[in-house]
Amino acid sequence: MKFLKSAVVMLISFNIAIFILQFIFGNAFTNQGVLLSSDVWIRPWTLITSMFLHSSIFHLVFNMYVLLIFGSLLESKIGTKRFLLIYFVSGILAGIVSTFFYPAVLGASGAIMGVMGVIIIIMPDLKVLFFFAIPMPLWVASLVIVLIDVVGIFVPSGIANIAHLAGLAVGLLYGLTLRKEKKIYHKKFSSKRHLQDEDIDEYFKSGRI
């Protein structure tokens, strides 16, 4: 039942549903929600709607796979409210930054990179299979991803690399904020109340102890 209540599952389901509508109605539907730099302030809602649009089935599947793996992990660590906060703030700010560099943007990549940015800070040594084959710590994999995006800026490929980096930056900053908050919380209360790590994790999920 918890799985069914997961914000990650809801986001993935909504992204899939929107992609089905894109497939059925084509560009007529997609163009209504895509983020265009020329009219972003006339249609500011496209900063959000563009996060649920994808250019291909591969684009959708890859993004949703990463969201399922890392989004589920982050939601379990910091709670649904904070997860949704970083997801949408990262996506929106990445969209705003992208309007200075690209004529049109769509996809959840900026938001997902924000999610990964938080995990990089709070779980840097998490072991991952880079490209599904090469085991390495998350922080190392992240450096490779950043390098790929930086190269992509100078070798255009239709990918909004700057939006990826902007989303990642937002996530990193939020992760640093959470880590600092956790240290302050632990120092302030643990010696008096003998709090366990589980108590601290619960605080960050719900705000309660």
Q: What is the pLDDT of residues 101-131, one digit of tens each?
A: 999 999 999 999 999 999 999 888 888 776 6
- CATH superfamily placement of domain 2-206: Rhomboid-like (1.20.1540.10)
Q: Which of 96, 122, 133, 128 is nearest to 111 (CA)?
A: 96
187 vs 122: CA distance, rounded Å: 17
Q: What is the pLDDT of residue 208?
A: 44
117 vs 98: CA distance, rounded Å: 18
Q: What is the pLDDT of residues 63-83, one digit of tens each?
A: 998 899 889 999 988 989 999
Which region among 77-81, 176-180, 191-195 has the lowest average model confidence (pLDDT)? 191-195
Q: What is the pLDDT of residue 139?
A: 81
108 vs 104: CA distance, rounded Å: 14
Question: Is this structure's pTM higher than 0.85?
Answer: no
